[in-house]
Amino acid sequence: MPNAIVTGASRGLGRALATALAERGYGLVIDARDPVALEAARQDLETRGARVVALPGSVTDSAHRRALVSAAWDLDGLDLLVNNAGILGPSPQPALADYPLDALADVYLVNVLAPLGLIQDALPLLAARSGGTIVNVTSDAAVEPYEGWGGYGSAKAALDQLTAILAAERPDVRILAFDPGDMRTRMHQEAFPGEDISDRPLPETSVPGLLDLLDSRLPSGRYRVTEIEVPA
């Protein structure tokens, strides 16, 4: 059976995707920083028949990243790595001219360097599988210059370029940047403190598009959920 690592899987898109993968028979290695929320996710996924290893911790911790890959090895290999964990940065978000550089460094550490570190650790397992795939969750803020999104947006832009270069360097693994669009998540609420974001779609609405992308033969590249066209 296929196995996947999904980071940031206790809520939002990560949990919705993990649920869908569990229902497809995947073995799962999941993580999150909140152990209570992660345990609740693990229990729910196991009720769906999945083999689940839940490891609380931060993707910025190299030992934690190695533990995630080791757990996938124990499940008998790795077919899919989803780098979903991320942070917004300060809320409300400061303009770049006023952005505290230590906070910006944290945003880049979580959203750019940690995913690369996990990819580096996981590549040998992924390359050993036919159809091994990496998904880096990105954002339209990576390509649109939204005022007040300089920290998060520029970090996601760096992740996009990292994804493209890795794809050029490693044609033996499919490497995708996936833009799920606006979603009703805690991070999105943090981006608009005090505002009503109930008009945004739930993360579950983006999962079918990602599953279609995974099922397709579309090559490495950047894909928006609203623009995915799977060849017949």
Domain ranges in the chain are 3-227
User: 10 Å Cβ neighbour count for 208?
Assistant: 12
The CATH number for 3-227, chosen from 3.40.50.720, 1.10.569.10, 3.30.70.100, 3.30.9.90, is: 3.40.50.720
Query: What is the structure's pLDDT at 189?
Result: 60
Question: What contacts 57, CB < 8 A, 6 or more positions away?
Answer: 31, 33, 64, 67
So what's the pLDDT on residue 228? 80
* Planar angle of CA 196, 83, 66, nearest 5 degrees: 135
pLDDT of residue 231: 62
Tens-level pLDDT at each residue, the chain (232 residues): 999 999 999 999 999 999 999 999 999 999 999 999 999 999 999 999 999 999 999 999 999 999 999 999 999 999 999 999 999 999 888 999 999 999 999 999 999 999 999 999 999 999 999 999 999 999 999 999 999 899 999 999 999 999 999 999 999 999 999 999 775 666 666 666 766 657 777 888 899 999 999 999 899 999 999 888 766 5
What is the rounded distance in angstroms from the CA atom of residue 50 to the CA atom of residue 110? 28
Give the single-character DSSP code of 177. Answer: E
- The DSSP bridge partners found for residue 224 are 179
pLDDT at 126: 98
Q: Check residue 184 and give its pLDDT.
A: 61
C-alpha span between 194 and 111 (Å, rounded): 25
pTM score of the predicted model: 0.94
Query: Are 201 and 214 contacting, i.e. CB atoms less than 8 angstroms apart?
Result: no
Residue type, 166: L
Which H or E run contains 47?
Answer: helix 35-47
Q: Is 27 helix (H, G, I), strand (E, B) or coil?
A: strand
Tally of CA atoms within 13 A in the half-sphere of 154 that contains its CB = 14
Name residue, tokens 């370029």.
161
